[in-house]
């Protein structure tokens, strides 16, 4: 009986020493535990913190999309990280990179707001969430704008790259 109890105690001590170790049971013992002595052996052991990892760069609009797009009643200025939209008596913004899929299609969230004919210094636009979707094909863009809160279709526009927008002034 006494021998069985001693074996159990030794087994528990062995298990507790493994549980308090900073390595997994299947990992090799660090150099300092294998009889090597010195600072080099201790610093050569497994690092406590994971190595830094590379993160993909933030997506930006491709150069073929960047620039001034114009059409009837709309202007679109695409930059690397978003776009500014100008309509007759309204404006909008897309604050994410203007990206398309392999077919040239896109669906981007942004905002839209009414712009009055006269704007004072204190005026702040009432921005409303909008979806800008469409397709780009060989320097031509078809753009559809929908206000999300009421699922209201604002229009479909055809734009061309490097074309001057034809916007009617708000009176």
Per DSSP, the residues of 6-55 read HHHHHHHHHHHHHHTSSS-TTSPPPGGGGT--SHHHHHTSPPSSPPP---
Element (H, E) at 66: none
What mean pLDDT is predicted for residues 74-99? Answer: 95
Q: Bridge-partner residues for 83, per DSSP? A: 78, 94
pTM of the model: 0.64
Residues 71, 170: Cα–Cα separation, whole Å: 17
Residues in the chain, overall count: 171
pLDDT tier, 44 (very low <50, low <70, confident <90, very high otherwise): low
pLDDT given for residue 36 in this prediction: 46
pLDDT at 145: 97
Could you give the percent of the chain with pLDDT greater than 70? 64
């Amino acid at each position: 009986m006494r021998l069985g109890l001693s074996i159990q105690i030794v087994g528990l001590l062995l298990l507790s020493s493994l549980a308090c170790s900073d390595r997994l049971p299947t990992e090799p013992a660090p150099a300092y535990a294998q009889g090597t002595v010195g600072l080099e052996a201790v610093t050569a052991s497994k690092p406590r913190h994971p190595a830094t990892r590379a993160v993909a760069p933030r997506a930006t609009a491709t150069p073929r999309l960047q620039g001034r797009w114009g059409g009837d009643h709309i202007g679109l200025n695409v930059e690397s990280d978003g776009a500014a939209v100008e309509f007759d008596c309204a404006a909008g913004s897309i604050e994410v990179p203007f990206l398309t899929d392999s077919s040239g299609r896109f669906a981007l969230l942004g905002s839209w707001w009414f712009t009055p004919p006269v704007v004072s210094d204190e005026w702040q636009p009432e921005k409303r969430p909008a979806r800008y979707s469409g397709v780009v094909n060989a320097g031509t863009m078809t753009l559809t704008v929908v206000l999300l809160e009421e699922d209201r279709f604002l229009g479909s526009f055809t734009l061309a790259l490097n074309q001057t927008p034809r916007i009617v002034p708000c009176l």
